[in-house]
Structure 1
Amino acid sequence: MTFTSLATAGGATWTLTASAGPIDDAVAGREVPATVPGEVQLDLLAAGLIGDPFDGDNEKVQEWIGYSDWRYRTSFDWVPTGDDRHDLVADGLDTAATITLNGTVVASTANQHRSYRFDVGALLREGANELVVDFRSPIEFAREQEQILGALPTVMHHPFNAVRKMASNFGWDWGIDVSSSGIVKRIGIDSWSGVRIAAVRPLVDVPDVIPGARTGTGVLTAHVDLDWAGALDSAEVEVTVAGASGSASVASGQTTATVVVEAGDVPLWYPRGYGEQPLHEVEVSVGGARWESRVGFRTVALDTAPDVFGTPFTIAVNGQPVYAKGANWIPGDPFLTRMTPERYRASVVDAVESGMNILRIWGGGVYESDEFYDVCDELGVMVWQDFLFACAAYSEEDPLRSEVEAEARENVTRLSSHASLVMWNGCNENIWGYLEWDWRRKIGDRTWGEGYYTEILPGIVAELDPTRPYSPGSPFSFTHWAHPNDERHGTMHIWTVWNDLDYDEYRSYRPRFASEYGFQGPPAWSTLADVVHDDPIDPYGPQMLVHQKAYEGNAKLERGLGAHLPHWRSIDEWHWATQLNQARAVAFGIEHFRSLYPLNTGSIIWQLNDEWPVISWAAVDVHGHRKPLWFALRRAYADRLLTFQPRDGALELVAHNDHGSDWTESLSVSRRRLDGSVLAEHEVSLDIEARGIVAVELPAELTTAGDPRSEYLVVGTAGGPRAFGYLVEDTELALVAPVDALAVEVAATSSGATVTITASSLVKDLVLQVDRVDPSARVDDGLVTLEAGESRIFTVTGAVGDAAWSGFPLLSSVNDLVTG
């Protein structure tokens, strides 16, 4: 068996030509060197024919690219191998493509989310061959398909719901509209004889698992799909895992085989914070063909059985209920071929180090690269995988229907080996949209996607991967008699906060599982200033608004400050105040939801990552800068959380112990002046079982202030869980100016610097904006509140030289905003 790569890395030379459409004069008639895998814009950029699509207003300048047709061409030498079959394999074509080999059309394709294989033995020639891949304009193709299928409601200006292409590539309220085309994955000639392994589904089980057990009896059921060519009469399918093996004989032409391997007592895979993540190599062989992957032995279940409060939504791994702490995941780059294993790992590490144990792959993106799931397998991050339907109605007729079925079957099969994948979800917000967004009037009696979410997709999961639970959508209530976004049932999206309401309103909700909510903030200053060239730079400048895709986004940022923070007096204060307010808002929601445990069983914020330099809901910007929100998440998602929460007119200290060990500790809760002097103190003894929660009502002498402007509450220590409480908003606090409250010492190191900061009065939410000195610099801590007499050492890496770190905006705090 021989695979001849036709990718650039395999030695092939490709060219790219604009073949039709509103082609820019600089590109018209030119044959441009192309990289495969790759996308059109990246080749034009490499050739110096366009500027960086992210820069300034280049999105608008380059929109012609998405309205044009493109041709990829390569010539390659081929020598017969003596095999019986020669298949042209294309693992990713984006999107509407016609493939021509030596002047003969091989096939036309129309789905970015699946792979293709065509027998081209009769078309190959010994010696020189020519392969041409013609891509139809993605925008015009979508419009054509919309005419065939009928227009259906969608939230965007392009009819992305008429084609099987990454929806966000057409633009989103955080995403750039690049409408790309390209050969985005492996392409080549696969020559083989006898029998070929077409696919493997290595499904695991742990029968009679004991909840919380570290080991169990592992069973692997390998479903093997086979292709045949030539005169081979029979073959033996052999499967090995965890030192055990099994086999099955197959006759020529038999297309499936099932091999059960009893692996004996094996260590079990758990999400991070609940156990270890042992992975076991799986090898499948038949004839000369071989397939390898890894599995983790574990069971997954979803509890949606009605209870006295409504309908829970609880993920259990190996019978152990898991409190889900995570974020939604979007594609890490609009040009997917730029995503590398290193970028995937860095983003998943961002999730892990913030305390997350779950990522939800949102339905407007892609079924991710195996590298993404591999890292999640290794680091114990559960993956909730949406099928790719988001914020639109979708026709259930052909040609769309057959493409949906094909992609679902392929990707359920492809991803079945990954221990991290714990659930499939039918769609994002489409059921909600049908009921509440005026879709029913527009749709009438036409199909709109319900059949996908309630019949086709659950049927495919039940057939191909019955080991994982399925949800028809998010949000979803798991009952016909409730609104899909009813807080009492299933999953809930909360977008009244941000769109309309102050973040205080999070406390008016009691969701069983909050699977989408968030608040915007700008990226790191260097990320923003690198692409926004308004002079002077302003929140409402024309290029700034290019990098703000949300409707009235910057107006909502301004309104969102409310009474919490003062209005800015400079662009630096705007940047800091809105970043800080994002962190405050999301942490406020998380702490409230965690305080409701066990009524609430999960929080998945919108969103972890960005795909380009943009003002968005992300915790980490496109260049990997951890925004203040990320540091807020690290505290709010810590296994052990202390939080002050109002309850029935009183103030309670809530301690949530999402840890495998009991939490026994004596804590002092005190009311103090800003200078640190103690006004009242109360001892609290915690004795909380593992995965438990306790709420303690605080005495009036703690919560009744003599001068609320000059006092605060604190519990815990800097080295462990700690919480601060305030009796007035920051705009009313009598904070001391940083120049009078902070002493800063800087010491150079071989990798950057250490910055030691000591406070003589309370300083709230300190952040070092290290990227303002060096865009590649990073700091180990942020959003730190210092009490009088307290010091903190920050470790900075990067080329920061002799930066002083003693003034705003390099050193930012609430004190700067309040005192000016």
Structure 2
Amino acid sequence: MYSFKQKIKLALTACLLSTGILPVIAQQSYELNQGWKCTKANTVQASGTQISSPQFDLSAWKPAVVPGTVLTTQLANKEIPDPFYGLNNEKIPDIYHVGKEYYTYWFVKDFEEKKPASGEKVWLKFRGINYSCEIFVNGQKVNKEPFEGMFLRKVFDITNLLASNGKNRLAVIVYPSNSPGNPNGGQGGDGTIAKNVAIQYTAGWDWIRPIRDRNTGIWDKVQIEKTGLVNLKDPHVITLVSGVRTPEGLQQPATVKTTAELENTSDSPVSGVLSFKLNGQTVSEKLTLPAKSSKTYKIKDLIVNNPKLWWPAGYGPQNLYDAEFSFTPNGQKVSDFEKLQVGIREIQTSWNTTTQSRQIAVNGQKIFIKGGNWIISDAMLRFSKERYDAEIRYHRDMNLNLIRIWGGALVERPEFYEACDKYGLLVFQDFWMSGDCNGRWIDPMKKEDQWTRRKYPDNHPLFLESAADMIKMVRNFPSLAMWCGGNEITPPEDILVPLRDKILPELDGTRWFVDYSNSDAMSYNFLGGNGDGPYGIQPLEVFWQQRTFPFNSEVGSVGTGDYESLKRFIPEENLKVPYHNTGTKPDTVWTYHTYTGVGYNQFIDPYGKPKDIKDFGLKAQLVNYDQYRGLMEGFSAHQWDWYTGVIIWKTQNPWTAMRGQMYDYYLDPNACLYGLRSGSELVHIMANPIDGMLMMVNNDFTAKRNLMLVATAYDTKGNSKLITKVFTYIEATSIKKILSVKNILDELGAKDGSFLSLQLLDENQKIVSDNFYWYPNAEGKYSGLQTMPTANVEVVAKRLSGDKIEVSLTNKDEKTIAFFNRVSLVNSQSKERILPTFYDDNYVSITPKTTKKVVLEAKAGTQPTQISIEGWNLPIRYIDIK
């Protein structure tokens, strides 16, 4: 269920009269997101009262980006180079060195809004300013009290400040934080960035370089809203779904509990009706609001019969109901209303005594968690609904069911949660703490000792006020599954206790709260260490045989893109194979963008040392695919025995880095995504890399019967050996061992390596799971791949309905396998990939005399398009779309 104010001019229809709701006043909400101007504060001597006068001359001021930061404005005005390209970020002055004044800016916006009639109010709303500010409208200061902290929404009544002619000016001076931190190369720099109630990564981390202005600016939405004298705020919806449910069939009733805060701005008491409407039903309460008051009111429960439930991705549909709160004073028009979408579901947690970890259930059904760690959509806070939608869709396409929002960033925006609701991703939301900055460990890079850092931030009441406000902002989303005190550390006790024992129970009360991300309360640490990892590239056997933490919040970290991805942010002169011999250091640009060469080298070399950057990029994708398929298969092989969940560190990058990403900053997927997609299938067939045991995994709520397993081995010359073709079954939420193929593969591939094709077919002979492995020879080298002949693949691309295209790949050869082929949608003139494009599979291998189909979807607009295909033994080709 998600909440967002969607005010438009309307008159309620006559059908609402039966509920006692009379026609609404003309009201609306709109964003102030264009036409802003700005200047550095120390270049103008005028005061806020002067600058906010509509007569003050702004002709010398420059255009500003709002929502945005100082850096996004400077970039838009071409005052700085793109900090995500090459070493450009080093050319931009850092606030720690040049001081706060350098990034202290005035932002001004002229807007038209007439003074409303008597009985109406106009509100100025900010959804995020970093770090503190002073606000003026038409020569008068708006915020009488300090407005500071990155994570606070603020609303101001500007009714009496509006000009009589409707020509108004808003002026905001934004000050950076007092503690920008020294970007000395440590995790969060010298750690003092955590003195603020703000994002910590901006001082730099091992996966990102410093953001030079520390994201100073009006970084989130600014809105004007009009209501009556009673303002309806922060409605809350709780859905209760008893028992163990299934996605299909008739459902028992669900209970919907609701509250809303009503602010009476008038000097007199106001009587009226607070109503909630969902699924054609309305419940309401008659109330009398004291003068000049603000209070939360409860509405009687609403019972939904045979509800359409919301489920995580893969398990069932993501049903959402339109809903609305409203308040109508007696005998008058609707004063205010809020529209929401409600997902009816209930999330439960319990302690698994076998694994010694928490397990999560939705609507009574336990879910094995396959998650990804998320930092932020864009390191410079350039957020958009469209980008959120694309990124969350990619996570759904990886067959993941959870995203953890890491504690060094923020509580994500409502648009992020909307996308998670849409695509079925549960959300694990950290508050703003990290073990690195907040003192868990000794760290010579930090300015202050652990005891001092343990007390960060400086302003504890501001932290609690911000936490309460963010809880109100996102608590209605069905995707929000749990809260977490911080990344790898608890908040200080005087923050933790009121947050856990008072604020969360009062403002939410329905979700599991874990005190920190690798707490024993989440995942009992009986192995020692910090409770996370392993990080970096691992031999696949590690994921299968080395037991790690039973609900691992962070594990794994690779993600270099291919040549097409790398050339977007690495200058041509640096675009070379990043290593040649074991002791060679990678190029400085590569290391600046967090390339971890030591990890990749030993895994790429068995395929043959790369002859050029394109060859390197292709071989890196083989490693990527194998790593993430193997990681998820290894954890899945021990579900409910060793593990209740795993969360990959990490699945996306908010800038052009090469550590932990399934797609690059430009939304171009790499092979990590498709290896993970394969290994994370709801029903999956796989092979243990240690003993060759074929295993089935069923994460679904129902048993799977009448499945046919087809296992076929190939040598690198294409000779095949049918291992088994047999009917099988698997119970719900379980794993099943079938037989070992190790001896067959060892014998077949001793000299040059081998391939293994595994398929599960349902009773309609439709493929349920399709898994294709490649194995090295007895010496651990992929020698046979070096001598494979060019494949003969017929490619046919045809446009389906809407934005979908189907690509059929037919291997015409008798023996040659067409190995590891990437399909791309490209501009037919420039040959550049069209991004984002969503593929139902990619990096596919086609066995002899078979056909595979890849369906892709993209909004190409008016661009002329083609399909490109390129593989290990298939030179790049471009195919016209029928």
Indicate how the Cα distance of structure 1 residues 784 and 749 shifts in structure 2: closer, same or farther if over 3 A, else same.
closer
Question: 512, 524, 530: which one pairs with 1:469?
Answer: 512
2-structure distance, mates of 1:503, 1:61: 41
Partner of 1:775: 833
Identity score, percent: 19
Partner of 1:304: 351
**Cα pair 2:869 2:876 within 8 Å, conserved:** no
Partner of 1:180: 215
Partner of 1:518: 556
Letter in 2 for 1:342: E
Partner of 1:136: 175
Indicate how the Cα distance of structure 1 residues 560 and 103 shifts in structure 2: closer, same or farther if over 3 A, else same.
farther
2-structure distance, mates of 1:791, 1:603: 34
Indicate how the Cα distance of structure 1 residues 399 and 286 shifts in structure 2: closer, same or farther if over 3 A, else same.
farther
- State how 1:130-169 maps to structure 2 within 5 Å: 130-138=169-177, 140-143=178-181, 155-157=188-190, 159-169=192-202
Partner of 1:605: 648
Partner of 1:443: none
1-structure distance, mates of 2:367, 2:29: 46
Matched position secondary structure for 2:41: strand
**Cα pair 1:56 1:543 within 8 Å, conserved:** no
- State how 1:189-228 maps to structure 2 within 5 Å: 189-190=224-225, 192-208=227-243, 210=245, 215-228=251-264
Residues 1:264 and 2:304 aligned together: yes
Residue deviations 1:664-702 (CA, integer Å, cap 9, x gap): 334344544333434573455422112221012427753
2-structure distance, mates of 1:229, 1:272: 44
Question: 270, 295, 298: which one pairs with 1:233?
Answer: 270
Cα distance, 1:595 vs structure 2: 0.6
Cα distance, 1:727 vs structure 2: 6.4
Cα distance, 1:594 vs structure 2: 0.5
Partner of 2:48: none
Cα distance, 1:225 vs structure 2: 1.1
- State how 1:334-345 maps to structure 2 within 5 Å: 334-336=379-381, 338-345=382-389
Cα distance, 1:310 vs structure 2: 4.7
Residues 1:644 and 2:687 aligned together: yes
Of 314-323 and 97-106, deviating more is 97-106
Cα distance, 1:467 vs structure 2: 1.5
Matched position secondary structure for 1:505: helix
Residue deviations 1:711-735 (CA, integer Å, cap 9, x gap): 5363534944244363647953442
1-structure distance, mates of 2:798, 2:29: 50
Cα distance, 1:766 vs structure 2: 3.2
Cα distance, 1:251 vs structure 2: 2.1
Of 739-748 and 516-525, deviating more is 739-748
Residue deviations 1:558-614 (CA, integer Å, cap 9, x gap): 445277544323222222222332222222111111011222222322233232332
**Cα pair 1:72 1:132 within 8 Å, conserved:** yes
Residues 1:408 and 2:467 aligned together: yes
TM-score (norm 1): 0.84
Matched position secondary structure for 2:673: helix
Partner of 2:342: 295
Question: 346, 356, 375: which one pairs with 2:400?
Answer: 356
Residue deviations 1:730-786 (CA, integer Å, cap 9, x gap): 953442547724124455767798665555334543335777932327584423234
Matched position secondary structure for 2:468: helix
Cα distance, 1:272 vs structure 2: 2.3
Residue deviations 1:200-232 (CA, integer Å, cap 9, x gap): 111111245557675232211112111111124
Letter in 1 for 2:419: V
2-structure distance, mates of 1:157, 1:549: 19
Cα distance, 1:555 vs structure 2: 2.6
Indicate how the Cα distance of structure 1 residues 428 and 540 shifts in structure 2: closer, same or farther if over 3 A, else same.
same
- State how 1:672-683 maps to structure 2 within 5 Å: 672-678=714-720, 681-682=723-724
Q: Which sections of structure 1, spanning at least 5 residues, go unmatched?
A: 22-28, 432-447, 813-820
Question: 398, 417, 428: which one pairs with 2:476?
Answer: 417
Cα distance, 1:116 vs structure 2: 0.9
Partner of 1:663: 704
Cα distance, 1:335 vs structure 2: 3.1
Indicate how the Cα distance of structure 1 residues 84 and 543 shifts in structure 2: closer, same or farther if over 3 A, else same.
farther
Letter in 2 for 1:173: D
2-structure distance, mates of 1:779, 1:235: 50
1-structure distance, mates of 2:407, 2:755: 42
Q: Which sections of structure 2, spanning at least 5 residues, go unmatched?
A: 1-24, 44-58, 329-334, 439-452, 580-584, 761-766, 800-804, 878-882
Partner of 1:378: 422
Question: Aligned residues, how many?
Answer: 768
Partner of 1:687: 729
Indicate how the Cα distance of structure 1 residues 5 and 141 shifts in structure 2: closer, same or farther if over 3 A, else same.
farther
1-structure distance, mates of 2:692, 2:620: 28
Letter in 2 for 1:628: A
2-structure distance, mates of 1:678, 1:143: 61
Cα distance, 1:293 vs structure 2: 0.4
Matched position secondary structure for 1:590: helix
1-structure distance, mates of 2:502, 2:593: 36
Partner of 1:765: 820
1-structure distance, mates of 2:555, 2:454: 28
2-structure distance, mates of 1:733, 1:523: 21
Matched position secondary structure for 2:68: coil
2-structure distance, mates of 1:810, 1:176: 37
Partner of 2:675: 632
Matched position secondary structure for 2:674: helix
Residue deviations 1:320-375 (CA, integer Å, cap 9, x gap): 00122232222221233x32222221222212222222222222222222222222
Residues 1:740 and 2:764 aligned together: no
Indicate how the Cα distance of structure 1 residues 65 and 285 shifts in structure 2: closer, same or farther if over 3 A, else same.
same
CA RMSD across the alignment: 3.8
Letter in 2 for 1:42: T
Residue deviations 1:367-419 (CA, integer Å, cap 9, x gap): 22222222222222222222232343165577521122112211212222211
2-structure distance, mates of 1:694, 1:644: 12
2-structure distance, mates of 1:518, 1:806: 26
Partner of 2:775: 726
Cα distance, 1:87 vs structure 2: 4.2
2-structure distance, mates of 1:806, 1:725: 14
1-structure distance, mates of 2:505, 2:387: 33
Cα distance, 1:617 vs structure 2: 0.9
Cα distance, 1:111 vs structure 2: 1.6
Partner of 2:5: none
Partner of 1:428: 487
2-structure distance, mates of 1:210, 1:190: 41
2-structure distance, mates of 1:545, 1:810: 31
Residue deviations 1:99-124 (CA, integer Å, cap 9, x gap): 23425472432222221123455655
2-structure distance, mates of 1:701, 1:197: 69
Question: 563, 571, 585: which one pairs with 2:613?
Answer: 571
Matched position secondary structure for 1:55: coil
2-structure distance, mates of 1:555, 1:617: 13
Matched position secondary structure for 2:465: helix
Letter in 1 for 2:172: V
Partner of 1:285: 326
Question: 279, 283, 306: which one pairs with 1:246?
Answer: 283
Residues 1:586 and 2:628 aligned together: yes
Matched position secondary structure for 2:146: strand
Matched position secondary structure for 2:789: helix
Cα distance, 1:165 vs structure 2: 2.2
